[in-house]
Structure 1
Amino acid sequence: MEGRPQFAGGGVCAAAYPDASAGFPPHLQAGAMRRRFWGVFNCLCAGAFGALAAASAKLAFGSEVNVGFCVLGIIVMATTNSLMWTFFSRGLSFSMSSAIASVTVTFSNILSSAFLGFVLYGECQEVLWWGGVFLILCGLTLIHRELPPPRKALPHKQQ
């Protein structure tokens, strides 16, 4: 190990392994589309469960609610909140980056909240609000459109 460069803390730097691939292992490359689908699906479910948790909390803590309905709302809120975190963590494990998972959950939560607000409370959103949702959707299509480009080999490695 004397001939390999090391950091001051004793760790080995990347130059110590010139033949190591920086890309994904072959078993992940083959199932990349499947992993992406399950990542998006889990993130969409997480956003929907988050919106359900917020709606049940609003129903449970309304001004004119009896005690039994309040307890039921708290139980539903706790259940949907735990489901939201479960699906979000699964979405993070399937996604290529945490930014993609976070934006997808946020988008799903916004749309689900708008739908539940309309169905449960008769709320209608303004055009500016829908414009913001459209911009988030445009950003999502940009970050979900393709896998990152593979790294090209350095000129001294092409022989």
Structure 2
Amino acid sequence: MIFTSNSEIMPASGGFSLSVCAGLCAALASVNSKLALDQNGTTIKLAVPCNWLSKQNCFFMVIVLRCVCVILMLVFNAAMWALFVRALNRCSSTVEAAAVNSVSNFFFTAVFGKLLFGEVLALLWWLGASVILFGLVMINYGSSDQVTQQTDKKDR
């Protein structure tokens, strides 16, 4: 159970989905960071039609897009922290919230890296990711069993 600021009692639910959303926001923040801070600017130049613009206008558009990406990085980081704090309040344990957040960030970052930047994920990466996912499932089932046992003890 969770006590809200209005002294209402609400069931501890939604923590898992909040942790996943926090991980997604963290991955989106890292994508925007990569776009904004790319030394060559090759990734961000793909979004600007430099063939139709003068060299000076193209440079200006790249700077504007980099600034937008920095702002989006900050927004997604703030959203990630807000969601993560809510997940910490709603999950049965802080370990569960932190593990789900980390694993979802890990997977979303890999998907975005593959789709947006053409990064290659080796078989060993997938094996490691599967082991991490299995560990998350074990943590999640272990914490739900523990909450059930504590609830049964209180009912007696």
TM-score under structure 2 normalisation?
A: 0.72
Name which of structure 1's ranges 129-138 and 49-58 shifts more when overlaid on structure 2. 129-138
CA distance in structure 1 between the partners assigned to 2:150 and 2:66 by the alignment: 53
CA distance in structure 1 between the partners assigned to 2:151 and 2:86 by the alignment: 27
Compared CA separation, residues 60 and 138, structure 1 to 2 (3 A): same
Bigger proportion of residues as helix: 2
Greater length-normalized contact order (CA 8 Å, ≥ 6 residues apart): 2
Could you tell me how far 1:31 is from its partner in structure 2? Answer: 3.5
CA distance in structure 2 between the partners assigned to 1:128 and 1:49 by the alignment: 26
| Corresponding position: 1:87 with 2:63 | no
Compared CA separation, residues 31 and 77, structure 1 to 2 (3 A): same
TM-score under structure 1 normalisation?
A: 0.71
Aligned to 1:142: 138
CA distance in structure 2 between the partners assigned to 1:43 and 1:93 by the alignment: 11
| Corresponding position: 1:101 with 2:77 | no
AA in 1 matched with 2:150: P
Q: Which one of the candidate residues 62, 65, 72 is aligned to 1:69?
A: 65
Deviations 1:75-123 (A, max 9, x none): 1101001000011001100011111111100110011001100111011
AA in 2 matched with 1:147: D
Name which of structure 1's ranges 141-150 and 127-136 shifts more when overlaid on structure 2. 141-150
Could you tell me how far 1:137 is from its partner in structure 2? Answer: 1.0
Q: Which one of the candidate residues 15, 31, 42 is aligned to 1:39?
A: 15
How many pairs are equivalent? 125
CA distance in structure 2 between the partners assigned to 1:88 and 1:132 by the alignment: 24
SS of the aligned residue for 1:147 comes to helix
Aligned to 2:58: none
Percent of paired sites with the same residue: 30
